[in-house]
A and B are shown apart, each in its own frame.
Chain A
């Protein structure tokens, strides 16, 4: 007998681990990531690597300072995933220090300061993205048109080093607006969305992703495929993505139907920008989203509503990060009020009353 100490049940386990969950999410991100690197060339790969590496270093140093065991937490995959997700939301040709600063913000003040994995109230990658966007608006909004690796137009391995780690002076020549940014500008000028989107950015282009945008957000189809993989593997449930996408689509469709020249349509909102990445990979972050099904539906719907509001009326063309963070702040409240009904009790927690003819005999 190796273990005579009283150990409670169960004496079996499904076998899932935190690491396995993180690895599955990364697997789901892989197609869109590979595509983003191919589309935007070597600078995108350098940015991804420098962001992920910085996240891991920041995690290790924080754990060391906090006096917690370093290896089990650095290898749980959460810091790696945070860095990865952050990189996917950055402009692909952003300078290296954007990735480093973002990773440090995500890991140190947004996660480790609260006590590390599981303790952060806000999605670390989104905290970092918002901080970067506000602090470095120029770098965070300078997007490049696709320079696919296979086309040979983009910078080579060495020239790309200069884009990411050098002065980045050549960026102006290739910069381009994102779909959301362009449409917002045009709508602001009074150009109808149909005309604003005319030509290059049809739904097909958005679905496939051959457009300017953040590193990993451009191909709606690949992100959707990753999201469906997560659903099938039960890493996430359908409640958040479906509630979010349905709310956003519904609002956009109604607004577009009422005033087609002032509002972009549902397809545009669903396919462009960070919508799908946000719905499947960011809003579904386990730590910062509600734990009950009903709560997840409300949370998802709230994200969809806020994305629509911010995109339509606020100063930023993309509202995903703000929307998710605002709803993150609602998560404790949602979890407090929306609990499952306990077996044998009504919604208020009182024991059920037996209305049946059976049950206690009258003389009791």
Chain B
């Protein structure tokens, strides 16, 4: 298959060998599960259970709210012991509303209802089931999958791309899933293709995963819809806009979606959960997580229930051999620092990494020497060193003119920067600040509009009063005159 070149990118040390040969393993139940009500982009789910209530595996715990949201379900049977704030698996460490479930050990399912022939279903029925199953983008983006399946309504689509690139170092969970459950993944892809109304689906897998490529090729042999495309091992191949460009040669317009060029991208693990949801009616309750990093005693690929605390996972992997320099959710390029080992694993978490200082290679930042390594590495055609200079000077408009909004925060620039300038931090800060200023501006405008409306209203009222007074005066005068005339 003909591939197209993408700009820039880096080739970080892969470090996948620690877990690439480790099959996916099931794990024993933890003592408590903590299920955050926001494990997705969009509005948090709203609880439908009460404290103390007994729930069955797969039972709805909290319902989705609004257009972009996702419900959460009980990962096992047990008792709801708490509903309230708990530290989120996010660098801020701020509490989010979380349901705490105490497993009863029976793992007793609620009644499930699968579909024998999903291809007889209406596309709407499929996306409705996907939405009800609480499925979100499993690659880390956590965008509600059903919303993306409904893009058919607004865009003319022709291609479904399955992102099995797994371009982040260390992570092998998608690799293993595609090897071990290729048939299920392909079935999920076919169901999604049906829901999207496309006749072609391409599974993109980086060339450093020949076994996954082979397993998937076997599974979709003779399939008229699904085929496998090997893509070069280059970060950030898994960035959906870049992956689509590598496969089709088409560039997604700035500020647009890949749907603008007729393509929808879903993750390989998402395809697997769609298969489970449609065929067996199973909501999203578990996922495969790679637990790795130099500080982990025995790196493994684990199939864990959502809500399992990170420390439970680390314990199952023999604990940490050294004090980790950094504990991450996700890969080392775009992963996020976890505030504590007590936070739970959520839907979008594809890896738990405990990295040593040798792996992180953190050093103090030095001044920029304009070496342009970042310019060469940026997959978006930006000039990171100039944007950083503007941000340093406090000129966010300047940074915006240089394309701040087009930055995908992949970290390629900071990865190659010899001066160790935390470029991603600069850009995230500036994006946040620009957004905050925009909110303030909108708010001020709204306040001004409301104030203007109010004074106008007051003015109208005063005017009405004056008119009423004048009218009364005139009436009085008229009456007096009439009386006078009558007397006369």
Contact = CB atoms under 8 A, between A and B. Distances in A.
Contacts of A78: 369
A76 B365 CA distance: 12
A330 to B, nearest CB: 15
Interface stretch (A1-9, A29-37, A47-55, A223-231): A1-9
Contacts of A265: none
A200 interface: no
A11 B370 contact: no
Interface in B343-362: 353, 355, 359-362
A10 B332 contact: yes
Interface string B326-351: 11100011111101110000000000
Contact of A343 (B370, B372, B380): B380
B370 A356 contact: no
Contact of B241 (A72, A286, A343): A343
B96 to A, nearest CB: 16
A198 interface: no
A361 B253 contact: no
A364 B154 contact: yes
A8 B260 contact: no
Contact of B326 (A7, A21, A361): A7
B381 interface: yes
Contacts of B341: 1
Contacts of A349: 403
A49 B376 CA distance: 36
A291 B406 CA distance: 19
Nearest to B90: A6
Contact of B337 (A6, A286, A345, A351): A6
Interface residues of A, number: 54
A118 B336 contact: no
B10 A14 contact: yes
A341 B241 CA distance: 16
Given A11-B326, A12-B169, A14-B10, A356 B339 contact: no
B390 to A, nearest CB: 13
Nearest to A349: B403
B286 interface: no
B241 A344 contact: yes
B116 interface: no
Interface in B366-403: 366-373, 375-376, 378-383, 385-386, 402-403
Given A76-B366, A118-B369, A11 B332 contact: yes
A175 to B, nearest CB: 39
A342 B254 contact: yes
Interface in A278-330: 286-289, 291-292
Residue from B93, B169, B380, B418 whose CB has the most chain A CB atoms within 10 Å: B418
Contacts of B242: 343
B370 A287 contact: yes
B381 A343 contact: yes
Contact of A358 (B157, B424, B425): B157
Contacts of A11: 326, 328, 332-333, 335, 337, 353, 355, 359-360
Contacts of B359: 11-12
B415 interface: yes
B156 A342 contact: no
Nearest to A353: B253
A13 B364 CA distance: 13
A117 interface: yes
B208 interface: no
A292 B415 contact: no
Given A8-B428, A342-B382, A20 B369 contact: no
A357 B241 contact: no
A152 interface: no
B255 interface: yes
B379 A343 contact: yes
B262 A356 contact: yes
A199 interface: no
Given A358-B261, A360-B154, A361-B155, A9 B333 contact: yes
Contact of B251 (A20, A116, A344, A359): A344
B299 to A, nearest CB: 16
A79 B304 CA distance: 55
A301 to B, nearest CB: 18
A18 interface: yes
Interface string B1-26: 00000010010110000000000000
Q: Which of B245, B372, B379 has the most CB of A within 10 A?
A: B372
Interface string B421-445: 0101100100000000000000000
Interface string A119-135: 10000000000000000
5 contacts: A4-B340, A13-B361, A17-B419, A286-B370, A343-B254
Interface of B: 7, 10, 12-13, 91-93, 153-158, 169, 241-242, 245, 250-256, 259-262, 323-328, 332-337, 339-341, 353, 355, 359-364, 366-373, 375-376, 378-383, 385-386, 402-403, 406, 409, 411, 414-416, 418-420, 422, 424-425, 428
Interface of A: 1-18, 20-21, 72, 76, 78, 116-119, 237, 286-289, 291-292, 335, 339-345, 349, 351-354, 356-361, 364
